[in-house]
Structure 1
């Protein structure tokens, strides 16, 4: 294939644009801001899950506390009624002795229930404190998600704008390459990720290997408009003033 030197040189400009477009695509697919956003969302989701469990626990313990208080109050009410009857002295001696016995039993029961109530109250206090702490943390986590989402959107927008600018420039550059040379370049680009490379100081800038002496001699004798290919990577080699031929 033949192509004048000017068309070949434009391949280097085209390759620079394609290299940057590939870098942008890779960054878009592996955006640090996207990873940070996903991490922030995961942390918020984890906090919300903990908050649901904590609120459930708090509600359960609160019901226990209410029941414990009710149980203690029932015993206190019963003891108060018995004490009132005992103080009134109504009833037979046997009935009064039974009341005294029951009062002693109720006192022991009240003591046991008050210990249970105290334990439940302590657990309720702990459960409520956990809920309060998690609720206080949530606004900060939610704000972190919003900030991360904004940073991700801004990063994507900047990359998309840069990519669009490069695509417009690529269209202009490609138009000056010519259909035949462009087709060869894009075929190689699709298979290797780089369609053209500079021949610089007797080295292919594509595979970074120094060319054999025989290839260099052949390239030095080749007409200016002849398309050269690297024997190692098959990329189009573009000669410049620094090729060392």
Structure 2
């Protein structure tokens, strides 16, 4: 959970970043050719907080849903596996951006040993708290709409697919967060999703799989859920990753959206 040097130095608050050759839009605002202070602000302070918000949301959602949907006879095993797998996965895919805390207690301990900039401590904690509320709220949606099976299944497919596609994009595609463990993380994400939400929708997350099974069994009831849900989750993932894409034109092209186009 170690952060990069730019995020761990407690007292060096120089946030200017040298603009790579060929990507500038003219002289920098501070008079130094090629320097873009705003890029440093976004990369060092905004991106990590967004990563903590997203990671906390996904971790809490999977964990809460695994407890809510825990089947009789599994005891604590199902929630324990779902919590552990979810946490390990979000750390693997988002740790390079924020350090992978997702817990105020962890952030405080890392700060006290000099591993977190003091300016980031409170924003980290706020992002984690907001992420916890979002994740718990999303997990409660199926309970609030138990009478509407279609809506419940649709929400589950959207969130579970969002989790899966986020791991694929951040772990296997993004050059700055790509990991050799991406295949394992992707497989474990499917495992965590099934453990957490298998009783809600079956956790398909793959329209091709759903279509093949429906074709063989000639059963098309509610088939649209397994297309609309996963596609919606994929769109949400892309929206988050490309969130600041327009800022590239201002020289703010950072690691988060260093994707091939």
Report the TM-score, using the length of structure 1 for normalisation: 0.24
Higher helix proportion:
1
Relative contact order higher in (CA < 8 Å, ≥ 6 apart): 1
Relative to its length, the structure with more strand (as a share) is: 1
Mark the structure with the bigger radius of gyration.
Answer: 1
